[in-house]
Structure 1
Amino acid sequence: MRPRSLPPRFDGRLHDPRTATVIGRWLGAAFVLCFLTGLISHFMQHPPSWPSGFPSRPVRGYRVTQGLHVASGIAAVPLLLAKLWTVYPKLFAWPPVRSPRHALERLSVGLLVGAAVLEVATGLLNTAQWYPWPFSFVPVHYALAWVVTGSLVLHIAVKAPQIRDHWSRRSTGTQALPPEDAWDRRSLLTAVGVAAGAVTVTTVGQSFTPLKSLDLLAPRHPDKGLQGLPVNRTAVAAGVGTVATDGYRLTVDGPHPFVLTLSDLRGLPQYEAELPIACVEGWSKSAHWGGVRIADLLERAGAPARGRVRVISLQTRGGYRVSELDVAHARDPLTLLALRLHGEELAPDHGFPARLIAPNRPGVLQTKWVGRLEVLGA
């Protein structure tokens, strides 16, 4: 009888609890930051039903939190690979289950490894807007975040004694490790830290513009695009095409409804605002916008003071055709129906003839090609 085939064996001295614990600390910190900022992003894109909604200030709040979310997720890639390398032999230990406690440990490891790899991989591909899977990214990514977090908590609870024994150089378990391994371990940990730092520095410039000259691995450069701003969805892709200036009408539906042409909009009081576009894929950049205050349009329509606004696009294809402005955003003086970008008329791909721009708001909700505003009840 042929012997049972075994996976490759890694007998190196650095496949040990101390190394795994150190890298696990770094990976855990990245996961926690990514999870918390991811929750902010999810609930800002899919607001709960509470009346007040999210605040409109700080102006760059979403830009910061989403930038941290993507940066921590990218940093987690080399950390996760290194963590899996350190524990690889134990993933294929035989027999697979030795006791009820060991079975619980194996369950936590299986859930954590599977969910973490899928979560990080799909998140990374999302930054490049590549979706080679049949499911919807957003709900699956959100659900996996909870699976990763729950299995991580379970794993830490099960492995707490071992983590405690190898948490620091002075821990009891660590003192028993061969002293000749110290140099090799420091070299490995330094290499892992440098790798995590390198992938972060060479991608974070897509949102942290002082480092934009170093964004060698980022899928987007914040300066590349029409009118100095990247474009995620073009007018053609959205089914809008070219909107005729003379044929455009903005309908504002409220207690006192009215319709405005583009000439009418240009004739209203104009305001300027420096606001960022912050996209869920991780890139962001501030831009100079000009247009009409949404609050002025609402006042003319007789909207109640606590009323929300539904913003409807002319686009015929793709998601986020409709978005809602909560009370804080609708009444914020910086929230504009923008007609200009950097002093120029909006390009079609940036939402000509009119688009929404508001502070502290995800880019997917900064609706382009606005054709209708509907005042909702308080």
Structure 2
Amino acid sequence: MRFTPPSGPPITFRARLHDARTATVIGRLLGLAVLVCFATGVLSHCLQHPPAWLADRLPSRPYWGYRLTQGLHVAAGTAAVPLLLAKLWAVYPRLFAWPPVRSVRHALERLSVAVLVAAGTFELFTGLLNTVQWYPWPFPFVPVHYAVAWLLLGAMLLHVAVQWPAIRGHFTRRSPGTLALPEADGPDRRQLLAAVAAGVGVVTLTTVGQSVTALGPLELFGPRSPAHGPQGLPVNRTAAAARVTGAALADWRLTVTGPRPYSLTLEELRALPQHEVALPLACLEGWSKSARWTGVRVRDLLERAGGGPGARCRVVSLEVAGAYRVTEMGRGYAQDPLSLLALRLNGEVLSLDHGYPARIIAPNRPGVLQTKWVGRLEVA
């Protein structure tokens, strides 16, 4: 492929396989990974920040649902990194095509590509840094990441629409067009695609162990190992980070507001009927691990305060500040018998970093909403 600048000799790209067929094959896999990330990301956002009309309709079952979808979200995003790099390598000579714009269709194509590359790179870059909880930017991660995901989807749909004639040709094995290479390049293309597949496989297998317990021994580069942490469970936000101290909990009482408000000391709470459930703690960063939790059912506490079978709940933490200091539990979560105000973890009293004296644990719920250091429940 040659690029002729306004003046000077032509620039020739001699590297092979910068052809439309290679780009299309890699693009299909990248598009699939992006769609998986988008669908699971929208689901995660709705669970964390549900609109009012959806809050009471969110399902609490299957109890492992968020563990699966968020693990898939992070795994697909990680796998998309080598796919994006391979895709950019296959098509970069087109960036030097001259003239830069030949028609309205060509202008739309270039615009969609620019937005697609920028949005895709931004999503993968910020998503990977989120898995290690490093935020070197001034904007809030969750809303911006979510907004750019919609921009990425729109740019991808526009790009597919503009490129559809060529894509359809490659699906039906017609001539790949102006960037076509001889059929002799077939073995080289297969080797390239095999190398890309191997790269995706290695990246996935060495990181997905944080979500899939069975693959834990292969986790070499995962940012978080579920096997490490106090009481056998990792901690994202410590008590020190939340500015919760043991001294501040010396006179702790649980306050439950509603038609019949009341308060309980820790000993009185322990004297109530205790229930044990096995539920995973699944976090936005992709890691998850199951544990045994013991405590009082949230619905029993709400019922005692006058909440009926359709009562919702607002949970208020003792932490001084934080985006999730106050969380909402819709009817499905508040009334699920698996939702507990937990007092014990794996048979032991909660450590301070795990939310002592009491924390929320509920099925199919993001970890950031499993509120720690609970001070008040409000019947809604």
| TM-score interval (norm. to shorter) | over 0.9
Equivalent position to 1:15, from 15, 18, 22: 18
Equivalent position to 2:344, from 340, 346, 356: 340
Match of residue 199 from structure 2? 195
What's the CA shift string for 1:304-327, capped at 9, x where partnerless? Answer: 322210000000032200101100
Aligned residues with identical type, % of pairs: 64
**Shift in Å at residue 167 of structure 1?**
2.5
1:287 is paired with a residue of what secondary structure? Answer: strand
**Shift in Å at residue 8 of structure 1?**
8.1
* C-alpha distance in structure 1 between counterparts of 2:248 and 2:158, whole Å: 58
Q: Which residue identity is paired with 1:266?
A: R
User: Any residues of structure 2 matched to 1:335-374 within 5 Å, and which?
Assistant: 335-374=339-378
CA separation of 1:256/1:182 partners in 2, compared to 1, >3 Å: closer, same or farther? same
Match of residue 208 from structure 2? 204
5+ residue gaps, structure 2, are none
| Conserved 8 A contact 1:243-1:353 | no
* C-alpha distance in structure 1 between counterparts of 2:234 and 2:7, whole Å: 55
* C-alpha distance in structure 1 between counterparts of 2:7 and 2:341, whole Å: 68
Give yes or no for the alignment of 1:132 onto 2:136: yes
CA separation of 1:131/1:158 partners in 2, compared to 1, >3 Å: closer, same or farther? same
* C-alpha distance in structure 1 between counterparts of 2:33 and 2:92, whole Å: 21
User: Any residues of structure 2 matched to 1:20-35 within 5 Å, and which?
Assistant: 20-35=23-38
User: Any residues of structure 2 matched to 1:60-99 within 5 Å, and which?
Assistant: 60-99=64-103
Q: Which residue identity is paired with 1:83?
A: K
**Shift in Å at residue 166 of structure 1?**
1.6
2:338 is paired with a residue of what secondary structure? Answer: coil
| Conserved 8 A contact 1:22-1:167 | no
5+ residue gaps, structure 1, are none
**Shift in Å at residue 91 of structure 1?**
1.7
1:166 is paired with a residue of what secondary structure? Answer: helix
**Shift in Å at residue 244 of structure 1?**
6.0
Equivalent position to 2:188, from 184, 194, 210: 184
* C-alpha distance in structure 1 between counterparts of 2:376 and 2:9, whole Å: 64
| Conserved 8 A contact 1:338-1:355 | yes
Match of residue 286 from structure 1? 290
**Shift in Å at residue 164 of structure 1?**
1.3
* C-alpha distance in structure 2 between counterparts of 1:6 and 1:310, whole Å: 69
* C-alpha distance in structure 2 between counterparts of 1:41 and 1:366, whole Å: 14
Q: Which residue identity is paired with 1:276?
A: P
Equivalent position to 1:173, from 176, 201, 222: 176
Give yes or no for the alignment of 1:275 onto 2:282: no
| Conserved 8 A contact 1:18-1:167 | no
Equivalent position to 1:123, from 123, 127, 136: 127
**Shift in Å at residue 4 of structure 1?**
6.6
CA separation of 1:302/1:311 partners in 2, compared to 1, >3 Å: closer, same or farther? same
CA separation of 1:102/1:371 partners in 2, compared to 1, >3 Å: closer, same or farther? same
2:289 is paired with a residue of what secondary structure? Answer: strand
- Output the TM-score relative to the length of structure 1: 0.95
CA separation of 1:106/1:3 partners in 2, compared to 1, >3 Å: closer, same or farther? closer
| Conserved 8 A contact 1:339-1:353 | yes
| Aligned-residue CA RMSD (Å) | 1.8
Match of residue 245 from structure 2? 241
2:57 is paired with a residue of what secondary structure? Answer: coil
* C-alpha distance in structure 1 between counterparts of 2:49 and 2:83, whole Å: 30
Q: Which residue identity is paired with 1:267?
A: A
1:198 is paired with a residue of what secondary structure? Answer: helix
CA separation of 1:324/1:200 partners in 2, compared to 1, >3 Å: closer, same or farther? same
Match of residue 262 from structure 1? 266
Match of residue 328 from structure 2? 324
Match of residue 40 from structure 1? 43
1:52 is paired with a residue of what secondary structure? Answer: helix
CA separation of 1:254/1:214 partners in 2, compared to 1, >3 Å: closer, same or farther? same
Q: Which residue identity is paired with 1:47?
A: P
**Shift in Å at residue 53 of structure 1?**
2.9
* C-alpha distance in structure 2 between counterparts of 1:48 and 1:243, whole Å: 38
The number of residues matched between the two structures is 373
Q: Which residue identity is paired with 1:357?
A: I
**Shift in Å at residue 92 of structure 1?**
2.4
CA separation of 1:138/1:162 partners in 2, compared to 1, >3 Å: closer, same or farther? same
* C-alpha distance in structure 2 between counterparts of 1:325 and 1:113, whole Å: 38
Q: Which residue identity is paired with 1:16?
A: D
Q: Which residue identity is paired with 1:23?
A: I
What's the CA shift string for 1:327-366, capped at 9, x where partnerless? Answer: 0110111100000000000000000000000000000000
* C-alpha distance in structure 2 between counterparts of 1:85 and 1:246, whole Å: 60
* C-alpha distance in structure 1 between counterparts of 2:105 and 2:132, whole Å: 41
Match of residue 311 from structure 2? 307
Q: Which residue identity is paired with 1:206?
A: Q
| Conserved 8 A contact 2:17-2:181 | no
**Shift in Å at residue 173 of structure 1?**
3.1
**Shift in Å at residue 6 of structure 1?**
10
CA separation of 1:231/1:112 partners in 2, compared to 1, >3 Å: closer, same or farther? same
1:316 is paired with a residue of what secondary structure? Answer: coil
User: Any residues of structure 2 matched to 1:224-235 within 5 Å, and which?
Assistant: 224-235=228-239
Structure 1 stretches of 4+ with a deviation exceeding 4 A read 2-9, 243-246
1:259 is paired with a residue of what secondary structure? Answer: strand
1:77 is paired with a residue of what secondary structure? Answer: helix
* C-alpha distance in structure 2 between counterparts of 1:5 and 1:227, whole Å: 68
Q: Which residue identity is paired with 1:34?
A: C
CA separation of 1:350/1:243 partners in 2, compared to 1, >3 Å: closer, same or farther? farther
| Conserved 8 A contact 1:245-1:262 | no
- Output the TM-score relative to the length of structure 2: 0.95
